[in-house]
Chains A and B, each alone.
Chain A
Amino acid sequence: MMDDFFFSLLLAGISVGAVYALIALGLNLTFWTTKTMNFGQGSLMMLCAMLTVFLSSQGLAMALAVIGSLLVVAAFGVFIERWTVRPALQASGGSMGWVVSTLGFGIFLQGVAAKYFGSQAVAFPDVVFTAQDFVTVFGQYVSLQYLVVLAVAVALILALELFVRKTVWGQAVHAVSLDPELALVQGIPVRLLVLGSFMLSSALAGVAGVLIAQIGGTVDPAFGFDLVLLGFVAAVLGGMGSSMGALAGGLLVGILSKLVGGYVSTAAEHGIAFALLMLALALRPQGLFGRPEVSKA
């Protein structure tokens, strides 16, 4: 008989890990099209969850509140691409400016949210199940909320993977990630793909925010800040740009941090992820699923 405590940690780890994978996937998406990542994603997660709380408190049905929030957050993706990433990429010399500009925009959003929603944590409403709903599997209690989170995250990851592998748009994204200049002169609408990647990446962050808020039960303006870093660790662990890597990296980070949180100290929960990152960078810098660069020459 598996130890109950261990099992509950494992399940929690898998569920949040799948959400980290979703965040990692969002980072990958813009990495494919522009070799940049939106570190403001954490604030978009927060914003989406906050907006959902706000809209549902205004009497909107939960599903509509979530969809409306996702649309707003996706629109922020357009803004972020246009006003934080593009100028940073165009600035002569500083090609890493986007790290600061996207992070800075995230901090700004966090400040705005604190002003309008207050800096206190607010309760996040139950979307489908409550924290008390569970099923029993092999004599273990399994939270239905965790299962829903896991199912949504995995379904989105698979859908995106299918989209990228099987559709012409996916091939075009792949082409842009390999050689943006060649893609451009072959008539691939690079700008559109870049814009689309930022919108989708932001929407994924929004979904991740709603899912994590559902598990945690509350949101506050600072929510999301650590999470995007955990997503980043997952992306690097798995191999930047690899979807399978994002999933594996996310699960690894999720499970390990929950186990450490359970058996050692919750204070160490997030810290362990960064220890993992440093270890991975030293031992296998290309990540679990990363392939060495294919040369262009």
Chain B
Amino acid sequence: MAEPLLSIDNLRAGWGEAMVLDGISLTLAEGQALALLGRNGAGKTTLIAALMGVARHRAGVIRLGGTALERLPSERRAALGLGWVPQERNVFRSLTVEENLTAVARPGRWDLAAVYALFPRLRERRANLGGALSGGEQQMLALARALMLNPRLLLLDEPLEGLAPVIVEDLLAAIRRLVRDEGMAAIIVEQHAHQVLPIADHAVILDRGSIIHRGAAPALLAQPDLLSRHLGLQHH
């Protein structure tokens, strides 16, 4: 069998002395999208931060395309193909939109023209400062910037959180296009399973630092009882 794009084996990680992730194992193949679900404080952001080398790694192996990441600094992990859209504080506020994009660009299929085609709004606002954008536009910018890295795997941490419904539609459409049509591999963190499960291949539910459910995304979508048990009331 071919090497998976990402493989995580028995990962233990946290912040300072606190241990948050308690032995996480999972794999993701090229071109697949994984929905990472779980309640507030379940450890979703910590898992992403551990992949990026921001959270404190305690034990376990993380491989991207066969390369062990645990000992590499964050900038190397980004260079090797992890495109992270952090949950908060994710644009350079006093760079313009275009500077935000070109400052991190790496050669590949995703260049200015390609990300502007995906987000025409960003092209309109290219000369505006990052800090002057609306919340939704900042989220688009953060996603576009991650694409400019030409990553092998996108890491989206609650990209839809706190956005107006119309913007949610736009962003979700862009993400769907990326993972369904462009074959971009992604881990998408969400609290609202109904928004992300329809575009994902696989799903994982985290609770208190452990995986309590894993399976195909469509199958999980068809089990509302399981969803409400593990994630609480779901808004549509």
Contact = CB atoms under 8 A, between A and B. Distances in A.
B73 interface: yes
Nearest to A291: B94
A294 B131 contact: yes
Contact of A187 (B54, B90, B100, B104): B104
Contacts of B78: 184-187
Contacts of B95: 171, 174-175, 178
Contacts of B105: 168
Interface string B62-87: 00000000000111011100001010
Nearest to B79: A187
A62 B86 CA distance: 53
Contacts of A168: 102-103, 105
Given A168-B102, A186-B145, A179 B89 contact: yes
Contacts of B58: none
Given A178-B95, A296-B93, A184 B103 contact: no
A188 interface: yes
Contact of B75 (A188, A295, A297): A188
Interface residues of A, number: 22
Contacts of A182: 86, 89-90, 92
Contacts of B178: none
Contacts of B90: 182
Which 5 A/B pairs are nearest by Cβ-Cβ distance?
A187-B78, A171-B103, A186-B104, A175-B103, A184-B74
A185 B74 contact: yes
A190 B75 contact: yes
Interface string A177-209: 011011111111111000000000000000000
B138 to A, nearest CB: 12
Contacts of A171: 95, 99, 102-103
A80 B75 CA distance: 23
Nearest to B100: A175
A185 to B, nearest CB: 5
Interface in A138-192: 168, 171-172, 174-175, 178-179, 181-191
Contacts of A187: 75, 78-79, 104, 106, 149
Nearest to B93: A294
Interface of A: 168, 171-172, 174-175, 178-179, 181-191, 294-297
16 contacts: A168-B103, A168-B105, A171-B95, A171-B102, A175-B103, A175-B104, A181-B54, A182-B90, A182-B92, A186-B149, A187-B78, A187-B104, A188-B75, A188-B103, A296-B89, A296-B93
B128 to A, nearest CB: 14
Given A179-B89, A185-B54, A294 B75 contact: no
B52 interface: yes
A218 B93 CA distance: 47
A82 to B, nearest CB: 16
Nearest to B52: A185
Contacts of B94: 174, 178, 294
A185 B105 CA distance: 13
A179 B100 CA distance: 12
A189 B77 CA distance: 11
Nearest to B76: A187
Given A186-B84, A294-B93, 15 more contacts: A171-B95, A171-B102, A174-B99, A174-B103, A179-B89, A184-B74, A185-B78, A185-B84, A187-B75, A187-B78, A187-B104, A187-B106, A188-B104, A295-B93, A296-B89
A186 B131 CA distance: 18
A179 B104 CA distance: 13
B6 to A, nearest CB: 17
B169 to A, nearest CB: 26
Contacts of A175: 92, 95, 99-100, 103-104
Nearest to A192: B75
Contacts of A183: 92
By CB atoms of chain A within 10 A, which of B74, B77, B90 has the most? B74
Contacts of B84: 185-186
B75 A178 contact: no
